[in-house]
Structures are given as C-alpha cells and as structure tokens.
Structure 1
Amino acid sequence: MTHLVFFCGHAGTGKTTLAKRLFPRLMRATGEPFCLLDKDTLYGGYSAAAMGALTGDPNDRDSPLFLQHLRDPEYRALIDTARENLELGVSVAVVAPLSREVRDGRLFDRQWLGIGDTVTIRVVWVQVTEDVAHARIVARGNPNDAYKLAHWDEYRQRRFVPSGDQCRDLLRFDNSAPSNEAYDELLARLVSS
C-alpha cells in the first residue's frame, strides 16, 4: 500500500516547512519510500519564464492571466506526476495550495486523481491567521509574492477556509506555533489505517 499525502493551504502557512519536517518521519513510520513534490520547485521556473514572456513580469503568479491560463495545467501535471510515482510503488507528499481542489472535494476523488483503492489518501489543510500569513509573506521577501502583496485585498478575498462537509476528511493543522506533540499527533493521523 502506498500513501498520497497533500499539504495544502494558502501562502505563508508553512506548508513546505511542515512537509519537510514530517518527511523523514513519514518514511520511517510507513516503511515506504516517499518523494516530495513541491509545486513551486517543479513549476516555478517554467511559470516565471512563461509569465515573463507574456507579461514582462516573471514573478506574476497571482494575476488573472496566470490563474486563468497556467494554474490548472500546473496542478494537473502535479497530480499526474504524483500518480506516476504511486504506480511505481513510491508514496508521495505533495505541497501546493490546492484550495480550489479542497473546496471541490477533488483530492478525495480517486477517479479525478487517477488512483486505485490501494493508495491511502491524507489531506492536511495547513492554516494560520491572515495576519500571521501576511507577516510571513512579507518577511520571506519572495518576488513571487509581489503581486499578492500589492493586491492584498483582492488576494484575501480568494483565501478559502474549509467548512462543513469540506472538513469531513481534512486533517486541519494550525501551523502558527505548533508543539512537538502537535507534530506527533499529525504524524499519527497521517499513517493511521
């Protein structure tokens, strides 16, 4: 059996940091080989080149142009890459916002993911308050965040907070200042049957 673990949430929540912290522990706990697929690592260079050619701004990855034409193909390729690894018997940890996919319940839709019943799916929704996220985004100084920061009121309207049935299978994780016990509890939930 293989595992497909998603670390999702908005910018500044610490998705990548959390995934990297838990990564070696996931491999030990499951006894499975894992690969880490971070959307920014896989597609950041390509997106920068495409947006630079289209708009002259390689860091523009939140504008309507990017969201309408490049976002979905990036996410589809990310899911397809995860599926290929799973087919080879390698478990996968995916790091990406995936807010639309969480909202629409797609990350639990085996047909949409293209995976069978032998894959264990876990979706972690990494969250912090908007103020904490904003402060982290400013502090990291990543040029990819420039559009987001310049249009914060517009961006914050897109910040999706799962509720109701959307939360049923989500593992919500407050990443503001988690304790060691919080990490241990999350790991236990990720590997439970």
Structure 2
Amino acid sequence: MDDIDTLLSIMENSTRRAILKKLLLEESYGLEISKSLGISQQAINKQLEVLERANLIFSMGVTPSSIGPPRKVYRPTGFSTLVIDYTPTFIQVSKFDLTEKNEHENHEGISIERIRELNEKMDALMKERQGLVEEKNYIIQTLRKNVVERVKEGFIRQILMEYLETLNEDEVSRTTGIPVEIIRKIVDDFLG
C-alpha cells in the first residue's frame, strides 16, 4: 500500500479521525482519549497502533500514573493536504506534505481575521481549481472521442487511452511492456 492509499484507509475510519482531532487539541494517552470519546480503551489502543504505524502520530514517551502503569503520550505528526479529483474522464489523488511553522517566527499577522483571509483565499483557489479540473476533463473527453473515432487498432487505442489518463510515457511503457520510444512515437502521431 502506498502513502496515499494508507492515508485514505486511515481517514475513512471515524474513530481514527476522532483520535487525531483530539490529539490536535492536546497531547494525550489512550485512557484519556478513551474517556473523552466514550470508546473502550482497547479499541482506542488498537487505533493508536494503526496511527503510529502510519506515521500520523508518535509517542513522546511515558507519563507516570498514580493509579496504574505509566501511560504512553501521543502527539500528531505527518501532516498533509489530500486532494481527490473524480471526474468522468480521470481520477487523481494527490498528497502534499505540510511543514510545521516554527513557533519562534514573527507573531505579527496572527489573528482570527488572518484565518478568515486565508480561508477566503483557499476558497477562491479551490473555485479556480474546480474550473481547471472541469476544463481538463473536457479536453480529455474530446481527445478520447477523437481517438475512438480515428484509431481503429485496439492496441494503439489502449496505449493512447492510458497515456491520456497518466500523461506519462514512462508509466505507459511500464504497464504495456512497450519501449518508451515507441510509446512516444504513437503519442506524437495521434495526439501531437
């Protein structure tokens, strides 16, 4: 399973998402998370192991307890943005790793108003991105239609369709077993 598949698998589980949300607010340990979420400690510990193996949390060590064994304290890590495009012509899942800002940087501009500005900018970018995805979908649809109408040989049609999906000659070469030079020539002849 690759990085994106792992992240999708992790995020589909509502308990894991709830644990991550809790840990975003404060570092915590299994029993405390269990009480907070109203879920058995055994179930929480199982999910904490999954999150730790996926590098979405890490153990900061243990804290002593007066009523039992020391408790493993967790903190979130491995932050990213996940973007999924699902259109009539393509599916694309992209993961962009995020870096944490240094807490010692300049604190000017840190306000609720700045968060609102950032949200507005991100919304505008997503609207623009939506338009670009729709345009890309239309172009691929048109090119696919042209390939179906013009290319009668099924094997060449398959190569062209795979290329339109990936836009990567090396990947098409790997999946079809055809040398990349031939893939390039076919793409140039029919789509160039």
- Normalised to the residue count of structure 1, the TM-score between the two structures is 0.21
- Normalised to the residue count of structure 2, the TM-score between the two structures is 0.21
